[in-house]
Amino acid sequence: MDHFLYRDGVLHAEDVPLTEIAAEVGTPFYCYSTATLTRHFRLFDEALAGTDHLVCYAMKANSNQAVLKLMAELGAGADVVSGGEYARAVAAGFPGERIVFSGVGKTRAEMRAALEGGIRQFNLESEPEMEVLNEVALSLGKVAPVTVRVNPDVDAKTHEKIATGKSENKFGIPISRAREVYARAAALPGLEVVGIDVHIGSQLTELEPYGLAFDKVAALTAALRADGHTIRRLDLGGGLGIPYERSNSAPPLPIEYGALVKEKLGHLGCEIEIEPGRLIAGNAGILVSEVIYVKSGEGRDFLILDAAMNDLVRPAMYGAHHDIVPVIEPEPGVEPHVYDIVGPVCESGDTFAKGRKLPPVGPGDLVAFRSAGAYGATMASEYNSRPLIPEVLVKDGQFALVRARPSFEEMIARDTIPTWM
């Protein structure tokens, strides 16, 4: 569900017509719905009701400070994967005890910043990382709370570039070596083992892979407790998918996911952490773009937009689908036209969709990419010296610019010319 609906013939974000936002901030732009973000967080929180739990928002999905502040005010934790994300989380109001630090390549500087600023736990991914964190913690006179990310060798049945729980993936340590690795962690004086971490991938559309992974986590919990470890916290990652194609069947709901967590792990008496990102932010955002040209080619028509692959890279990177709709509602019964929908960047890969049916549109018309709130703005770049596009947050009948489009002068001023030139 989202809060982007047609009203009086115009697509609205909550109670604001998108045409009004476009007139003020220009196109292309991202637009996020406060109501949708709030609803999706609460769906996860309610799904785990009756258990000791924390819903940690995966910031990599959308790290705009306004979105983060909303999540912090709702009581979410934050899942961060870099020093920059940690700094953003703190600036947005997340207390250290609600910040989880994940990622395979944490540096000494990042570890030090989190230990000094406050951290709930580090999710460790390797033995070398474990040794380094121990050294950093001891140098600060601190003890770092840690889980170890185990790789359960479970096929998440998702795109190969966002699968993380198979044996060939770079994440975590093989679950077959978990007892050995935990023994080493317990022997390091700068670390305190608090639990287990597992994350098998993103955009999962069925629950079976979760069930297989959770069974392995339950067995590992029993084995580690038998070895003398205090396992009081289970970090289960995120990854539940969203319906990018509205014509397809919907992925499992958070309530169904929560029921599975309780069924498989509820008897262990552990605090449950989950790290959803896409399902909170994905359908809470859209990308609005203007048609520049309609170009007739050999056997096809091209719809050339002012948005490009640098603004929304998912189609070029993953072959990902986004529903694309006109901002002005088409008349009932209008015959659709078939377009290849592309951007202006000088790359053949700058293609959003091929052979897509859309009501006839022309230069100056606005179109909206649905389900663009996750991994849209955070993965954007300034390729072709195209400025990062604005981000807008809507609440009820008001909207605010929460990231401005930089000018060409601001972009150029970030470069420095050597004195010898």
Cite the active site residues. 346
C-alpha distances in Å from residue 247, one per residue of 337, 358, 404: 18, 14, 34
CB 52 within 8 A of CB 271: yes
**DSSP letter for each residue of 241-275:** ---SSTTSPPPPPHHHHHHHHHHHHGGG-PEEEE-
Is there a contact between 72 and 57 (Cβ–Cβ < 8 Å)? no
- Rounded CA-CA distance 311/106 in Å is 27
What burial letters (b/e) apply to 103-123, b meaning 16+ CB within 10 Å?
bbebeeebbbbbbeeebbbbb
Give 16's strand partners.
13
3-state secondary structure of 291: strand
CB-based contact 390:30 (threshold 8 Å): yes
DSSP per residue over 348-374, as a string?
TT-EEEEEEEE----TT-EEEESS-SS
Asked whether the beta carbons of 90 and 84 are under 8 A apart, the reply is no
Q: 226 is written with which tokens? A: 């038998």
Placement of tokens 């003398």 in the chain: 228
Helix or strand or coil: residue 90? Answer: helix
Distance CA 239, CA 195 (A): 20
**Pairing of β 366-369 and β 391-395:** unpaired
For residue 362, CA distances in Å to 263, 304, 357 come to: 53, 10, 14
Spatial distance between the Cα atoms of 261 and 265, rounded to a whole number of angstroms: 6
Q: Is the dihedral of CA 77, 78, 79, 83 positive or negative?
A: negative
- Do the bridges between strand 391-395 and strand 16-17 make them parallel or antiparallel, or are there none, so unpaired? unpaired
Alpha helices for 48-94 (secondary structure H)? 65-74, 83-92
**Token code pair at residue 280:** 């909170």
Kind of pairing, strands 366-369 and 324-326? antiparallel
